Amino acid sequence: METTAPTLGTAPLLLIAAAAIAVLLFLVIKVRLHAFVSLTLVSLLVALATRIPLADIVPTMLDGFGGTLASVAMLVGLGVMIGRMLEVTGGAAVLAQSLIRLFGERRAPLALGVASLLFGFPIFFDAGLIVMLPIVFSVARRLGGSVLLYALPTAGAFAVMHAFVPPHPGPVTATDQLGAHMGVTLLVGTVLAVPTWYIGSYLYSLYAGRRFELPVPADVTADTGTAGGASGDSSPGTSGTGHGHPPHVGTVLGILLLPMVLIFFNTGVDTLATAGVVDGDATWATAMVLIGQTPVALLITAIVAMFVLGRGRYPRDRVEQIVNAALGPVCSIILITGAGGMFGGVLRASGIGEALASSLESTGLPVIVAAFVVATALRVAQGSATVALTTTAALVAPAVQAASGLSTIDLSLIVIAIACGSTVLSHVNDSGFWLVGRFLGMDVATTLRTWTVMETLIGVVGFAFALVLSLLL
């Protein structure tokens, strides 16, 4: 849909944008109205306030909603299918125990964190944390020491992957809004996630494990229904499942790495074709590009996971039930991200995006810094990283499009900057804050001094890496 020419000046448009954010925060925080309904209502109000023609309002909203879902829904759906198959077959436990044997018991916290980084690629924060916690507590009881020494690297790994790496909905939506390349964002996000986790989560856990002596909770797996994730979002819950015949660790690693390898076919061939090394129009090259498209790579991986992990463990109808059950809990997140795209479409059509872009340009604040600051403000105000990510991406997208000289990697780094801003300062309005505090047996003060500090370190360290790379590349 074509953008409607703005009928208001820059100042009124910016005031409407500020009022829209204030109303959105009020509805989510005070009224406790669901984020999907809140975003839809605010989108409608903004369209009316900015004088978009009445006949164009609903088509504009639906265009933004549908355009976002076209990229988000498929990736999120396929991702949770892969994660659920790995979860119910015991893949997480196998991977964690194998890495502990590889790293040694002295480096058990590092091994648990690495396992969670790998397992965190397809599975959402809370589902992954609930699956890994029994393993974490078992290792903590056997080796001794504060439970934080073992739990924080695991929780931090899932938090980093949830925020930085597609197919998680936040980075997928931001990538789509900013016009970044999904495969490049996945690779850049993965590369930055590892050192960010190591500094902000693992190294901090060594300090926190000495500073806060917390025993292993007696019974943390009772009543582990789905709660909000690190991003204050709903995600697939877990249920107790037997792992009588768990997969081999090589199988687990192969499934986790398969989509990354396939996506590399796409980015690798594109790079070689741009450099003139290969003929990009050759049949084999176009086939590799197709296979490496993120939706196709995840589709192939989901089929492989269902076939390889289900064979010899579950009949076909049971595999269908497992993957089908994984889809229900993510509907809320998919709708929220779609509504964020709707909000972005209204902002573009109203001219607010262009007004904000010109204002940011006049301040001289780099787009990547502005993106981090806006995301941080929204994260602190309302708690949900998904809302912070989608709203920030919608607000800064015109500024990104107006900026000259931004490369594909620059766009992906801006996505990471937004993700970092949406990670910092998790506190009492974030359901992930309560999830971690409850499972680890911490009071509010201790959770603020541990989980909140770690989340802030992750966001700040990740943003520092993204900013430095944007200056160097």
Task: Write down the domain spans for the chain.
Answer: 10-69+332-472, 71-163+179-218+243-329
pLDDT in tens, 423-472: 998 876 676 787 788 778 888 788 889 999 999 999 999 999 999 999 98
Q: Comparing 352 with 363, which gets the higher pLDDT?
A: 352
* Rounded Cα distance, 168 and 124, in Å: 7
Q: Quick check: 468 and 369 in contact, CB under 8 A?
A: no
Q: Quick check: 33 and 92 in contact, CB under 8 A?
A: no
pLDDT in tens, 83-140: 788 778 888 778 777 878 888 878 889 988 998 898 787 777 766 777 677 778 878 8
pLDDT of residue 240: 41
Give residue 360's pLDDT band: very low, low, confident or very high (50, 70, 90).
low
* Rounded Cα distance, 131 and 250, in Å: 19
Task: Tell me the backbone φ, ψ of residue 135, rounded to 5 degrees.
Answer: -70, -45
pLDDT of residue 279: 80
* Rounded Cα distance, 230 and 289, in Å: 33
User: SS3 for 123-184, per residue?
Assistant: CCHHHHHHHHHHHHHHHHHHHCCCCHHHHHHHHHHHHHHHHHCCCCHHHHHHHHHHCCCHHH
Contacts of residue 237, defined as CB under 8 A and 6 or more positions apart, other chains included, come to 126, 127, 130, 224, 225, 226, 329
pLDDT in tens, 211-263: 988 888 764 444 333 333 444 444 434 444 445 688 888 888 888 888 878 87
pLDDT in tens, 173-213: 888 889 888 888 988 999 999 999 999 999 999 999 889 88
SS3 at position 321: helix
Query: Residue 441: which of 194, 177, 146 has the closest Cα?
Result: 146
Query: Residue 129: which of 58, 59, 231 has the closest Cα?
Result: 231
pLDDT of residue 417: 95
pLDDT greater than 60 at residue 58: yes
pLDDT of residue 356: 67
Q: Quick check: 466 and 371 in contact, CB under 8 A?
A: no
Q: Quick check: 122 and 165 in contact, CB under 8 A?
A: no
pLDDT of residue 234: 40
Q: Quick check: 433 and 446 in contact, CB under 8 A?
A: no
Q: Comparing 268 with 152, which gets the higher pLDDT?
A: 152
- The two three-digit tokens of residue 452, written as one number: 């909140």
Residue 104: half-sphere exposure toward Cβ, Cα within 13 Å:
2
- The two three-digit tokens of residue 88, written as one number: 């119910």
pLDDT of residue 154: 92
pLDDT in tens, 62-72: 988 887 787 67
Place of tokens 């007696």: 218
pTM: 0.70
